[in-house]
Amino acid sequence: MFCSTRLWLAASALLWASAVPAAKTVNEEFPVPLQSPSATARPASPDLGRTRPIRDELGQGPAIRAATAPAAIAAAVAQAVPGCRMIRFNAGFGWVATGTAQYPASDNQVALRRTRQDARFQAFTDAYARLAGCLVALSPQARQHITATLEQNDAIRLALINLAFTDADKNEQALRILARGFVTHSIREDQKRRAFYVNLVTTPNTATRLTRPTPNAIEAISLQDGLRQVQAEIEAGLIPPTGNRLIVVNATGELALVGYAINLIGTHPDPASQDKLRTDAEKIAINRATEALIGVALGDDSAWQNGLDEASRADLQTLNAGYANDEPSVSRFLQIRDLSMTALKEDLGLIALREGRLPAVAIKRFRTEDAVTVAMIYTPTIKKRQTRPTPAARTHLPTGVRSPSMDKPPAIRGSTPAVPPPTPAAISTPAAAETAPPAPSFKPPISATPAVTPTVEPSPKPMNTLTEQAPSGGKEPNTAH
């Protein structure tokens, strides 16, 4: 038990374990339109403020200088040209990467919807590839400056100590944290050119609040930060048709498991038949999202991925590009994931998922004319770890006077101090009740553990969505509008 505790503390101290909050949240540094209602239709802000192009000494190339981060980002986004641009604002810096993808014209509405969905995801991956390529090209001096800036955050400084053995390794790991610590800022469609544009933004501030150690995982400073970004990307369709995410908050031990699916809707001239197509599409999306959620609980994606078509599996492989299983940050996160799941082996909801049953989960529906997207979120009830209180200042006593504590036997090294019981994590967002969705198409081995519905704290409220709470067992979901 003591050995397990030491492993947990060592792993959780690697990144985002510091209880010291960042100076600013992402939304305070700059707004994220994608996380707001009707974000996909919102163009870049025309109010760019006072911006000017410069040649930056840090990036050794052109950059956009503005008084504020929003003005610099808006100027970069307004160019609507694929590429990666450095931005400067006050004493801060960052990069805006713009990716794009086109889709062909088609008279077949179903085929057009599919190619538009593919183009969204391709534009997202194109933006990420441009961002990574932009940062890799930085000079050694720029890498050192980025490392020094990120090390001002105690948690990242500890992470770099554990992830690197040399200064060159440390600079490389710092660069990867920055490249994977982006926020998906906005998406725009140019219907005349039949193209999508996706904009990613990374700054030292975004990287200290969330990063993506593996393709389907996010380490965040809070569940709200992680879920807000995941839900925004799912709603905008910037993900493969089916997948999952694991969100981890190392400082508190909180977790969120997400399974999602996008299912396109067929077309029919009869309104009643069209409603039936939408209902069927939603049921399929619920089934696939449930299977993906079970996959992240099992730590094995092979079962639900085997049921996907070739194009969907290819999208998942594209998402994995740029990650190597032997790189330090991936190995480190896999250790944290295993320790987190081991600590929750008695959680009734995870037991149900591993047995192929659905516990009480939050269901998010993102409905459009073209498709139905469903995200299923399970948040285990976890007691937050408490930090040890600061010892009281020592009082100097007169010579010859003994404090009562001096007569106590010395503490034994390795013993566990008594601490007050931690308080449960709370995420206050109401959710309406709904019957459970249908069972997944595959059944993992059933154990003798009876089905028990745990008490689950609801996830943060998403933007422009319908939220329901599904208890375990029961009937088909009510999908009536």
Instruction: Kindly give the pairing relationship between strand 361-367 and strand 371-378.
Output: antiparallel
3-class state of residue 7 by DSSP: helix
**Cα dist from 407 to 39, 411, 414, whole Å:** 66, 12, 21
The structure tokens listed for 239 are: 């993900």
Q: Are residues 101 and 229 in the same domain?
A: no
pLDDT of residue 267: 87
Task: Render 109-164 in DSSP notation, one character per residue.
Answer: HHHHHHHHHHHHHHHHHHHHHHHHHHHHT--HHHHHHHHHHHTTSHHHHHHHHHH-
Does residue 37 sit in the same domain as residue 148?
A: yes
Instruction: State phi, psi for 378 to the nearest 5 degrees.
Output: -115, 125
Number of neighbouring beta carbons within 10 Å of residue 37: 10
Domain match, 252 and 183 both: no
pLDDT tens per residue across span 217-275: 999 999 999 999 999 999 999 999 999 999 999 888 899 999 999 999 988 889 999 99
Could you tell me which residues come within 8 angstroms of residue 98 by beta carbon, excluding any fewer than 6 positions away?
A: 76, 77, 79, 80, 81, 82, 83, 84, 85, 127, 130, 197, 198, 199
- Rounded distance between C-alpha atoms, residue 319 and residue 247, angstroms: 17
Domain boundary (211, 234, 258) is at 211
Same domain, 297 and 337: yes
250 in the same domain as 162:
no
Residue 107 maps to a domain: yes
Compute the CA torsion angle 212, 216, 221, 226 (nearest 10 deg).
Answer: 120
User: Does some domain include residue 397?
Assistant: no
- 475 occurs within a structural domain: yes
What are the Cα distances from residue 467, in Å, to 44, 294, 464? 29, 20, 10
pLDDT of residue 83: 95
Same domain, 119 and 78: yes
**Is residue 246, in this structure, part of any structural domain at all?**
yes
Q: Are residues 158 and 183 in the same domain?
A: yes
Residues of the chain with pLDDT under 70: 1-28, 37-49, 383-481
Predicted confidence at residue 448, as pLDDT, reads 35
Same domain membership, residue 256 and residue 182 = no
Q: What is the pLDDT of residue 61?
A: 81
Q: Which of 211, 229, 264 is the last residue of a domain?
A: 211
Cα end-to-end distance, the chain, whole Å: 52
* Domain annotation covers residue 13: no
Question: Are 350 and 481 in a shared domain?
Answer: yes
- Cα-Cα-Cα-Cα dihedral of 188, 227, 93, 33, to 10°? 30
Residue 254 domain flag: yes
| Of residues 95, 79, 105, 181, the one with CA closest to residue 133 | 95
- Residue range 435-467, pLDDT digits in tens: 344 444 444 433 333 333 333 344 444 444 444
In 381-460, where do the E strands start and end?
A: 432-433
pLDDT score, position 27: 61
Residue that is last in its domain, among 211, 227, 246: 211
Domain membership flag for residue 412 = no
Count of domains observed in the chain: 2
Please indicate, yes or no, whether residues 360 and 219 belong to a single structural domain of this protein.
yes
Q: Which 8-state DSSP code applies to residue 234?
A: H
Taking CA atoms, 82 is separated from 78, 193, 202, 301, 404, in Å, by 11, 14, 16, 33, 71
- Identify the pLDDT of residue 151: 93
Determine the Cα–Cα distance for residues 221 and 251; give it in Å rounded to an integer. 7
In which element (H, E) is residue 249 found? Answer: strand 242-249
- Spell out where 265-393 has E strands: 361-367, 371-378
Q: Is there a single domain that holds both residue 149 and residue 252?
A: no
26 in any annotated domain: yes
pLDDT at 127: 97
Domain ranges, residue 354: 213-385+423-481
**Residue 189: other Cβ atoms inside 10 A:** 17
Question: Which tokens is 177 given?
Answer: 């944290």
Do 192 and 280 belong to one domain? no
